[in-house]
Amino acid sequence: MTTDTITIKGLDKPVTRIALGTWAIGGWMWGGPDDDNAIRTIHRALDSGINFIDTAPVYGFGHSEEVIGRALEGGRRKDVILATKLGLAWTDDQKVYRDSRPERVRKEVEDSLRRLKTDVIDLEQVHWPDGKTPVEETAHELEKLRQEGKIRAIGVSNFSVTDMDRFAAVTPISTIQPPYNLFERVTTERDILPYAKAHNAIVMAYGPLCRGLLAGKMNSGTRFPKDDLRSADPKFQPPVFEHYLHAVEALKAIAARHDKSMLALAIRWVLDQGPTVALWGARKPEQIEGIDAAFGWALSAQDKSDIEAILRTHVPDPIEPDFMAPPQRD
């Protein structure tokens, strides 16, 4: 497979510009885990040329990390850039809340190292800002862990520019992970991409397929079970869902100009926006198919103009993914 790569400051190996996203592998909010398929999915991604895996403890409350650790046994760890996160805790009944206190930061890194069966985490990211802990305290503890050799590079996710400025005064930010796709882009394009370009950081776009909407396979009859995240996403509720589906159908014509799928178009659009990596979420091996179709081409100026016209027509008031934000701790 022909792949694009990009360099993350602090790491000595370039990463593929598509990373395997593993939220669904953890099972939580995605209908439960399927470990055998998950391990096959990870192996398929690696065999396809992907060398970058992104996870988090909250994905299945440790389960995603444990599955990745099992999948990378037998010598495969050395070929992978492994990214995880911290800063989200949970209660016994799986209520998630933000917690980036220094003691929590250290505990999460130690727990992730154990679950991932590795001696070092290549990229450690703060999952969400903790409004009750000064960002400087979180950054300072991460810098200590970096100097101890337990992590190599540091990133943030879902942070404002103000918080990133405060964080970066303590330790360099190598990556920024916001939601970013054709339908969820306002904040990222206004704030995050300019910041990344100015500070030599890489944007790791999560949700580039907008939770499957931009894969082009849904229709007005598509329904989601109660334990599926999309059952609470306002974009997937009538009558708004129909507007998004009409936009997808129109976008397919742009993809057809290049003999590509809607999925490939959505990923290519993210990659064409700047210093970006797209997180490709998958939980079944067959969901890895099509990755190579996102590489080796680019959207033309006419394509981009037509895409903007389609979005203005069908989704003039796009909904940002604010519903996904976890609460602050009590």
Quick one: pLDDT at residue 120? 98
248 belongs to a structural domain: no
326 belongs to a structural domain: no
Look up 180 and say whether it is catalytic. Answer: no
Q: What is the CATH number of the domain that holds 178?
A: 3.20.20.100
Examine residue 239 and say whether the peptide bond preceding it is cis (omega within 30 degrees of 0): yes
244 belongs to a structural domain: no
Quick one: pLDDT at residue 31? 55
- Cα dihedral 153, 135, 188, 19 sign: positive
Query: Residue 234: is its pLDDT beyond 70?
Result: yes
| CB neighbour burial string for 129-150, b if at least 16 within 10 angstroms, e if fewer | bbeebbbeebbbbbeebbeeeb
253 belongs to a structural domain: no
Domain of 290, in residue numbers: 5-212+264-297
| Structural domains of the chain, count | 1
| Consecutive H or E run containing 88 | strand 88-90
108 belongs to a structural domain: yes
Taking the model in full, what pTM does it have?
A: 0.94
Query: Residues 10, 202: contact at Cβ < 8 Å?
Result: no
26 belongs to a structural domain: yes
Mean pLDDT, to the nearest integer, of 85-90? 96
Residue among 59, 180, 195, 244 flagged as catalytic: 59
What confidence tens digit (pLDDT) does each residue in 127-177 have? 999 999 999 999 999 999 999 999 999 999 999 999 999 999 999 999 999
Phi, psi of 174 (to 5 degrees): -90, -35
Query: Residue 125: is its pLDDT beyond 70?
Result: yes
Mean pLDDT, to the nearest integer, of 92-105? 94
What confidence tens digit (pLDDT) does each residue in 26-81 have? 755 555 567 888 999 999 999 999 999 999 999 998 999 999 999 999 999 999 99
